[in-house]
Amino acid sequence: MKHRFSFLLRPFSATMDIIALDICFALAFRLKFGTTESLFDVPYVTLFWFINAAWLLVLLLNKPYNFSRLTFTIQNLLVGLAKLIGLHVALVSVFWVFTQGGFYYSREQLALTYVLFLCAGSLWRSVVLILLKVYRAMGYNTRRFVVVGYGPLSRSIQTFYQMYPEIGFKFYGYFDKMNPDNASALRGDYTYLKEYITRNEIDCVYCCLPYIETEQLREIMDFSEEASYQVKLIVDFKGFLTKGVTVEYHDIQPVISLSTHYLDDLQVNVFKRAFDIVFSATVLLTGAPFFLIIALITKLSSKGPAFYSQERIGKWGRPFHIYKFRSMYPDAERSGPALSSGDNDNRITPWGQFMRKTRLDEFPQFYNVLKGDMSVVGPRPERQYFINQIVEKSPEYKYLLMVKPGITSIGQIKFGYAENVEQMVQRLWYDLEYLQRVSFSTDVWLIVQTVRVMMQGRGK
């Protein structure tokens, strides 16, 4: 069965709401009158059946459970519930007026019903959402997808679903014209695509418009009706890096409106900076004794200073000096700039290896945050020497320079330290995702994930 049990989610949700509404109605009756013996006597039995019928009518008119996997969030679920309750209250109010319900029904009992129902509806939605996301993250109830057109943009889609396994999308390969440069990365070419979609019951086909021709796209869309899969188009908007893409209609012609001022809003310029100052100051003040111990161990464990400073490139290409606890022996780069090769790098001290695994070497960068050179969360800053090499392979890196670099990032959590320029390019695609998701909740989530990596000693 291609779509497994996802089709049951809507009837399940409707049933849960009806059950919750009836239970809350009865519980409110009990709390108001101290008994439920007369609940199904006239006139309350009439009100009981009407609120059920009104709820079903609201569901039929609004289809409130039609969420895609990307919009299946607790915020959308709770906002949707509040809207449903608002419409239901309006219908019941009309019923109340026409039946002169003020003479028969208790306003307190009805108000209490809605309060209880809001709590109950929010609770079961939250529980189901969490359980379903955990279930999908474990590899169940997944949707299968392929990407047609191979390139940096198409790789970003695979990266996105790797970062968010709770959405439940499983990658089944790339398809494009075969050539010596991409043959090893592709599942096959266009001649093999239809057979592969049918045999593997693919649910979704992402088509990258920069890499696919119009005729091929038309064939994929025509075949979607026969094979029953979704077609989604990927357009390269990274060059615009805007949070406010809107669609305007000039008669029937859609026109995409783009802002050229990326992240130029109150949330980023004020709230994010305020959070950076408060959080970094708190860490530096409360952790000062602990940092002194780390500095002392660093100093005593090998020759050289406790701290290490190096020039990095920040927002808009401005250089600044980043601070760390020293994890390498002095003069580690006397032969020129070089990236660490991880556990096999003999330039790293034994204590430095531990600090890198637990990310303790990064703590002095909170001073950089206070100065305004960095943010707590943002793409990792690099040296100009390596930036020049990265841009040659992936020009998209220059967009990371439009925001402040950070102590931690999606790339740092999901990928870790890069051992060469190729790995730096791979990490780039994780950090580009952050640019489209800058928010307080995302920053908090990344900080929590960083703490988890530190506690587990999984820093790479």
- The phi-psi region of residue 457 (left if phi > 0; otherwise alpha if psi is between -120 and 50; otherwise beta) is left
How confident is the model at residue 448, as a pLDDT? 87
Position of tokens 């943009």?
Answer: 153
Residue 371 has pLDDT above 50, yes or no: yes
Start-to-end C-alpha separation, the chain: 41
pLDDT confidence tier of residue 407, bands split at 50, 70 and 90: very high
55 is written with which tokens?
């709820």
pLDDT for the residue numbered 6: 66
Residue 437 pLDDT greater than 90, yes or no: no
* pLDDT > 70: percent of the chain: 88
Q: State the pLDDT confidence band at 246, using cuts at 50, 70 and 90.
A: low
Encoded amino acid at 363, one letter: F
Question: Residue 250's pLDDT is what?
Answer: 57
pLDDT tens digit string along 310-319? 999 999 889 9
Give per-residue pLDDT as tens, 200-216. 999 999 998 878 888 88
Contact between 90 and 54 under an 8 Å Cβ cutoff? The reply is no
The count of C-alpha atoms lying within 13 angstroms of the C-alpha of 139, restricted to the half-sphere facing its C-beta, is 0
Is 275 a residue whose pLDDT tops 80?
yes
Tell me 380's DSSP state.
P
Residue 104 has pLDDT above 70, yes or no: yes
The pLDDT, as a whole number, for residue 41 is: 84
Confirm if 419 and 340 have CB atoms less than 8 A apart: yes
At 362, the pLDDT band (50, 70, 90 cuts) reads very high
* Cα separation, 102 vs 92, whole angstroms: 12
Predicted local distance difference test score (pLDDT) of residue 99: 80
Mean pLDDT of 133-159: 86
Give the pLDDT confidence score for residue 49 in this predicted structure. 93
Q: Is the pLDDT of residue 261 over 50?
A: no
| Amino acid 306: pLDDT | 95
Share of residues in the chain with pLDDT > 90 (%): 39
- CATH fold of 143-236: Rossmann fold (3.40.50)
Q: Count CA within 13 A, CB hemisphere, residue 76.
A: 11
* pLDDT at residue 451 in the model: 87
Contact in structure between 70 and 167 (CB atoms under 8 Å) = yes
pLDDT surpasses 70 at 257:
no
Mean pLDDT along residues 149-162: 82
The full set of domain ranges for the chain reads 6-137, 143-236, 266-456
pLDDT band at 238 (very low <50, low <70, confident <90, very high): low
For residue 277, give both structure tokens: 């100052």
Please report the pLDDT score of residue 260 as a whole number: 45
- pTM, to two decimals: 0.58
Q: What does pLDDT average to over the chain?
A: 84
- Across 325-333, average pLDDT: 87
- Arithmetic mean of pLDDT, 291-300: 95
- Residue 242 pLDDT greater than 60, yes or no: no
Indicate if the pLDDT at residue 413 is higher than 80: yes
Q: Is 251 exposed, middle or buried (0-12, 13-18, 19+ CB in 10 A)?
A: exposed
pLDDT of residue 159: 82
Question: 456 or 247: which carries more pLDDT confidence?
Answer: 456
